[in-house]
Amino acid sequence: MEEIKIYEEPLSKEEFTEHSIKKSIREMPCNYHLIDIIKDLKFGRPAENQRMMDEWIAMMELAPERGAPFSKAIVDVVFGGGDEVLPDNDDDIRI
């Protein structure tokens, strides 16, 4: 059985280039970080759309050590059915 790697952090510039050339990101976007998916989708789009996508990527990269806006606390609440409670300290969810 083929091992499937899921990238929870954005790829380095070199890794991104390699995966983009192989078209791995477009074939299996669910394995990649959202930032890499948006970067890959940017190519071939009109210039205005590319600028908008760049701004979105910059917003997502604001706090990479916290994973903002996709911190573990937020993802657990969203996909855990809402049973979990966010911590009192909202630093994890602030952008």
**Mind listing the pLDDT tens digit for each residue in 25-43?**
999 998 898 889 999 999 8
Extract the tokens encoding 34: 């959202």
The answer on 57 and 82 residing in a single domain is: no
- What domain count does the chain have? 2
pLDDT computed for residue 95 by the predictor: 45
The answer on 47 and 91 residing in a single domain is: no
The answer on 12 and 49 residing in a single domain is: yes
The answer on 68 and 53 residing in a single domain is: no
The answer on 84 and 56 residing in a single domain is: no
Tens digit of each residue's pLDDT (9 = 90 or more) over 58-69? 877 776 555 555
The answer on 48 and 4 residing in a single domain is: yes
**Structural domain for 28, as ranges:** 1-61
The answer on 56 and 19 residing in a single domain is: yes
pTM equals: 0.62
